Copies of this chain bind each other. A is one copy, B any other.
Amino acid sequence: MRVGVIGGGQLARMMVPPAVELGVELAVLGEAPDASARIAVTTVGDYRDADVVLAFARGVDVITFDHEHVPQEVLHALVDAGVVVRPGPDALRHAQDKLVLRERLQGLGVPQPEWARVADAEELGAFIERVGGRAVVKTPRGGYDGHGVRIVSSAHEADDWLADGPLLAEEVVEFRRELAQLVARRPSGEVAMWSLVETVQGDGVCREVFAPAPHATARVERVAREIAHTVAEALGVTGVLAVELFETFDERVLVNELAMRPHNSGHWTIDGAVTSQFEQHLRAVLDLPLGSPDAIAPWSAMVNVLGGPADGDLDRRVPRLMADQPAAKLHLYGKTTRPGRKIGHVTATGDDLDDAVFVARAAAAFFED
């Protein structure tokens, strides 16, 4: 069993442990020899170059991804060459282009914010008026972690982006909180879902995740599962799909975004579930039966380590963290520190959510200045 992963970031890196345990040979196409997933990097090259990717794909049973940025032309070149690609190009389009996603979700009747495709300032102005004077505009492609997202209240505030093509405009959803429903689906159709989780964002970046989502009503949980199931099935997703959701004050559940790969909202599963999202992703793309997504403890809390100490010296912080929080599970991504960069995360599990949150936050705080 050989899996090739395009992209050498932390998601590829975190596939290494389950690959080692399952006896799966992992090969990674990394951007640089010192990529986060460097221990598994077998090729260094540009994922936008079809020749590089085709050469890399030789000898693996399936190609999957650390990120969703591989161009459709390259994906189709792989498929045309007989390479098994999971998720496939048609599914991935929905994670690559937010306009494609919105159109598709509308066709499926999946609840989502009000939205429009706006090609110019006039259309944007009309949409802003329709949704009450403020709108979110998003570049359809290439946005992540808050990049490519802007809140506007007048027609000309996105002229710079509109010069490059149409944008997605969405209503500003007044939400109680953000949730995420992770699901894994294998080609045979089997799906497995972890608990619905609550995600806490700051500056557009995921900061904390609580699993399961505290005080979620049975209805919200059911709707989230139905949405994830519908989307995974209809889009033909293989592997892990993360559905990021808004929970509104009137208990509606609206789809915010999708990711077709392991996702920050599922990092808690490494320590908190029988089968982690990374193991499940490998199983799913290899079309192996899925593992149990059950939690191993009543509560898990995950806190991201962002930026890291200004002095860049992680090695001095780690011993202090370990001495202070012996039950915290530390995950470092082998990256250099940089303001705002996700360089690791900490998870704690237990019978009490407050305790788990305390441990995870206390541990992560050792990397702050």
Binding site for B on A (CB under 8 A): 1, 13-14, 16-18, 20-23, 25-26, 39-40, 270, 274-275, 283, 288-292, 294, 296-297, 314-315, 318-319, 322-323, 326-327, 329-334, 344, 349
User: How distant is the Cα of A39 from the Cα of B20 in the complex, in angstroms?
Assistant: 8
**A-side interface mostly:** mixed
Task: Tell me if B1 and A315 are in contact (CB < 8 A).
Answer: yes
How many copies are assembled?
Answer: 2
Known contacts: A1-B315, A16-B16, A283-B322. The answer to whether A292 contacts B21 by CB under 8 A is no
Q: Which of B274, B291, B327, B349 contacts A322 (CB 8 A)?
A: B291
> What chain B residues lie within 8 Å of A292 (beta carbons)?
326-327
User: How distant is the Cα of A279 from the Cα of B14 in the complex, in angstroms?
Assistant: 15
Known contacts: A290-B326, A291-B322, A327-B291. The answer to whether A23 contacts B296 by CB under 8 A is no
Q: Return the 8 tightest CB-CB contacts between A and B, nearest first.
A: A23-B332, A17-B17, A289-B322, A289-B323, A292-B327, A292-B326, A21-B331, A16-B20
Q: 13 A-B residue contacts at CB 8 Å?
A: A1-B315, A14-B21, A17-B20, A22-B331, A22-B332, A23-B318, A23-B332, A25-B334, A288-B322, A289-B319, A290-B326, A291-B322, A291-B327
